[in-house]
């Protein structure tokens, strides 16, 4: 059955990459959440998509230039200003704490393709071990050097190669870099890639799948998972397909 992963949480209805968005995804019945991590000046794992704070918070400048004690006081409500309670940038540790209350899978995207963030891989792996979440996490990145480093440090963890351009036989590429999965942009996916990946034991989870027609197609193809801003819509389609 195709698993439904909530992209940056249920980001269609709540501020992306916030606890509110992850809680909404879990309440909607999503199988997994996807989130992005950046590293602060003092080495904390902050859950935020952009290298800069400007788009999603009331702060400015690079995450890497802020200390966690200041960053954690910012507002991350951006396009949901009507939210009455304060909604801040969570740390990865806070999200892991919340995951104790449920069984959701967490796809951690290392946002280390613009800044390499030395030490980020070690910190993420240490936290996963601390919470015993080895079976509940997937580490993805557009930085495939980083993924191979994660594999060297922790071969038991699943890594997933993110990519946005057409790759030739991506399941072979995944095998070569010892990734257990590919996370392709939906624009690059076709029937052969889904079938061959699954046949070779490579999980395939396209992003960002917000069109109902594409969701239905991936579910009918038996794709491993899909990553969407609207897990409620995707779950309704999955229910309707499975009912037939
Ligand atoms: O992990 C899938 C997707 O989140 C990758 O792109 O830019 O939304 O982080 P982006
Ligand atoms: Ca992401």
Mean pLDDT of the chain: 96
Whether residue 116 is predicted with pLDDT greater than 90 in this model: the reply is yes
Structure tokens at 227: 């990553």
Provide the pLDDT for residue 106: 98
Is 166 among the catalytic positions? no
Q: What average pLDDT does this structure show over 73-96?
A: 88
Long-range contacts of 57-65 (CB under 8 A, 24+ apart): 57/89, 62/115, 63/38, 63/39, 64/38, 64/39, 64/40, 64/115, 64/117, 65/41
> Quick check: CB of 68 below 6 Å from ligand 1?
no
Provide the pLDDT for residue 86: 78
C-alpha to C-alpha distance for 182 and 59, rounded to whole angstroms: 33
With a threshold of 0.85, does the pTM exceed it?
Answer: yes
C-alpha to C-alpha distance for 148 and 33, rounded to whole angstroms: 23
C-alpha to C-alpha distance for 133 and 82, rounded to whole angstroms: 35
> Quick check: CB of 207 below 6 Å from ligand 1?
yes
Residues forming beta bridges with residue 106, ordered by sequence position: 33, 137
Of the pLDDT bands very low, low, confident and very high (cuts 50, 70, 90), residue 77 is confident
Provide the pLDDT for residue 82: 76
pLDDT (tens digit per residue) in 130-162? 999 999 999 999 999 999 999 999 999 999 999
Of the pLDDT bands very low, low, confident and very high (cuts 50, 70, 90), residue 83 is confident
> Quick check: CB of 5 below 6 Å from ligand 1?
no
Q: Ligand 1, residues 36, 112, 164, 189: which to mutate, most atoms within 8 A of Cβ?
A: 36
Going along the chain from its start, the domains and CATH numbers come out as: 3-243 (3.20.20.190)
Provide the pLDDT for residue 85: 78
Provide the pLDDT for residue 177: 98
Of the pLDDT bands very low, low, confident and very high (cuts 50, 70, 90), residue 243 is confident
pLDDT (tens digit per residue) in 16-58? 999 999 999 999 999 999 999 999 999 999 999 999 999 999 9
Whether residue 232 is predicted with pLDDT greater than 90 in this model: the reply is yes
C-alpha to C-alpha distance for 10 and 75, rounded to whole angstroms: 18
Is 144 among the catalytic positions? no
Helix axes 19-28, 231-243, angle to 10 degrees: 10
Q: What average pLDDT does this structure show over 231-237?
A: 98
Q: Which ligand is nearest to the CA of 142?
A: 1
Provide the pLDDT for residue 81: 75
Q: Are 102 and 133 in contact (CB under 8 A)?
A: no
Q: How many CB atoms lie within 10 A of CB 77?
A: 21
Question: For residue 49, how far is its CA from the centre of ligand 2 (angstroms)?
Answer: 6
C-alpha to C-alpha distance for 10 and 228, rounded to whole angstroms: 8
Provide the pLDDT for residue 24: 97
Of the pLDDT bands very low, low, confident and very high (cuts 50, 70, 90), residue 78 is confident
Percent of the chain predicted with pLDDT > 90: 94
Structure tokens at 182: 């590919």
E strand map for 28-96: 32-39, 45-47
Secondary structure (H, E, C), 119-152 = CHHHHHHHHHHHHCCCCCEEEEECCHHHHHHHHH
According to DSSP, residue 62 is labeled B
């Amino acid at each position: 059955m195709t698993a439904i992963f909530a992209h940056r949480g249920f980001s269609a209805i709540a501020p992306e990459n916030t606890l509110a968005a992850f809680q909404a995804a879990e309440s909607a019945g999503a199988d997994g959440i996807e989130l992005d991590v950046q590293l602060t000046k003092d080495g904390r794992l902050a859950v935020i998509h952009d290298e800069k704070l400007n788009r999603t918070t009331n702060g400015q400048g690079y995450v890497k230039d802020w200390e966690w004690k200041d960053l954690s006081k910012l507002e991350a409500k951006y396009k949901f200003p009507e939210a009455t309670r304060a909604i801040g940038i969570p740390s990865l540790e806070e999200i892991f704490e919340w995951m104790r209350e449920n069984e959701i899978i967490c796809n951690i995207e290392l946002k280390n393709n613009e800044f390499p963030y030395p030490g980020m891989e070690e910190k993420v792996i240490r936290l996963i071990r601390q919470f015993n979440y080895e079976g509940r996490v997937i580490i993805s990145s557009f930085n495939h050097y980083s993924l191979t480093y994660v594999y060297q440090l922790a071969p038991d963890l699943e890594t997933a190669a993110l990519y946005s351009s057409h790759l030739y036989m991506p399941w072979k590429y995944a095998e070569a870099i010892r990734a257990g999965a590919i996370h392709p942009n939906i624009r690059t996916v076709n029937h052969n890639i889904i079938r061959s990946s699954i046949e070779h034991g490579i999980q395939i989870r396209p992003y960002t799948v917000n069109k109902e027609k594409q969701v239905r197609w991936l579910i009918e193809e038996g794709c491993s998972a899909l990553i969407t801003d609207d897990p409620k819509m995707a779950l309704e389609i999955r229910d309707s397909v499975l009912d037939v």
